[in-house]
Copies of this chain bind each other. A is one copy, B any other.
Amino acid sequence: MPQGGAPQQPPAGSFALAIDAMGGDHAPESVLDGLELAAERHPKARFLLVGDEARLGALLARRPKAARVCAIRHAPESIPGDMKPTAALRVRNSSMRIAIDAVAAGEAAGVVSAGNTGALMALGKIVVKALPEIDRPALAAIGPSARGDVVLLDLGANIVCDPRNLVEFAVMGDAFARAVLGLTKPSIGLLNVGSEELKGDDRVRQAAEMLRETVLAPNFHGFVEGHDITAGTVDVVVTDGFTGNVALKTGEGAFKLVGTLLKQVFTSSLAAKLGYLLARPALERLREWMDPRRYNGAVLIGLNGVVVKSHGGTDALGFAHAVDVAMDMVNHRFNDRIREVLATLPPRGRPAVTATEPSVNAR
């Protein structure tokens, strides 16, 4: 059905990103508003907008910048936020599925969705598929630290991990930090309960031993602890999906608690209110710096394509940031780096590295 204001669809293979226009709490409006911002930042990119053709056409007609860079592809259904991944896999004509199909078919280099996380991860793994060298794709994101941004992974894609998985996460985290943070030699830390070599369980100690034998060894800092994440001790913090998910949400919760308490402080008296007004420009800068929207865009890495999950509740600015992350990954061909480093690792089947200190297991 022709749309007023909808652009002509360019030939296949020419899209930077496929966009699930129907995923997220405020979709498709917030998605389209986000694309209006993204179109300014990435004027040469073209986006495949997947969703309800009629609604999207009408919305695009009022967003001229987005309209110039987007083509619409109709999807009659969308995945509800509470649908289980196994059920979502069976919905063949959802906006998320059709967007992901476009990546698998090579029409787009990546996909961004603010929809159901579990469904996106399942579809990503099954449709886009993991790189042959990767055992388990991982979920990564960027957060604030005292020394700049820090990459944390895995954030929940893999609840149970072995040492080799952790090593692969380090390889992917390294590539991600290069592509998205623009670092040339990102330092890598393995999350543990202490920084001494003997701390933790066999799993992290073996992963550390294995990492010291890779080409990443010069940038491997060793073990880091929870407080090192926000201290910025390293650029990339590697852990299993259970611990990473808890760490991410615990940190977010702590930031939120302080924010709530500060609001109470600055409304607690007339003097405090006046104080807020005086300090406001600096406080606003702080708020902007800590803004969760600035860190929006968790990435499922280790796939044959870029898969970015935007927070479901974010607004246009947050969605545009998720598009930025996806574009960085597309433009920096970060999968090439992953494959390069993985090619230097011993094959997976090799027996685990034995601990150098017999006392390691005796504690």
Contact = CB atoms under 8 A, between A and B. Distances in A.
A1 interface: no
Nearest to A201: B159
Contacts of A361: none
A343 interface: no
A5 interface: no
Interface in A202-250: 225-231, 239, 241-243, 245-250
A268 interface: yes
Interface stretch (A173-181, A272-280, A301-309, A323-331): A272-280
Contacts of A268: 282
Contacts of A250: 226-227, 229-230, 247, 250-251, 254
Contacts of A132: none
Contacts of A277: 275
Most chain-B Cβ atoms within 10 A of its Cβ — which of A144, A249, A363?
Answer: A249
Given A193-B159, A243-B243, A247-B247, A265 B279 contact: yes
A81 interface: no
Nearest to A85: B363
Interface in A156-208: 156, 159-160, 191, 193, 200-201
Interface stretch (A22-30, A40-48, A256-264, A311-319): A256-264
B253 A231 contact: yes
A228 B245 CA distance: 12
A254 B282 contact: no
A275 B276 CA distance: 6
Number of copies: 2
Contacts of A228: 253
A283 B255 CA distance: 16
A281 interface: yes
B227 A253 contact: yes
A252 interface: yes
B275 A278 contact: yes
Given A239-B246, A257-B144, A275-B277, A226 B252 contact: yes
A269 B281 CA distance: 10
Contacts of A272: 278-279, 281-283
A227 B243 contact: no
A93 interface: no
A14 interface: no
A253 B279 contact: no
Contact of A156 (B85, B193, B227, B252): B193
Contact of A278 (B256, B261, B274): B274
A230 B247 CA distance: 12
Contact of A279 (B193, B271, B286): B271
A228 B193 CA distance: 21
Contacts of A201: 159-160, 242
A109 to B, nearest CB: 29
Given A226-B247, A230-B254, 9 more contacts: A146-B260, A225-B246, A226-B250, A229-B253, A242-B243, A246-B247, A247-B250, A264-B282, A274-B275
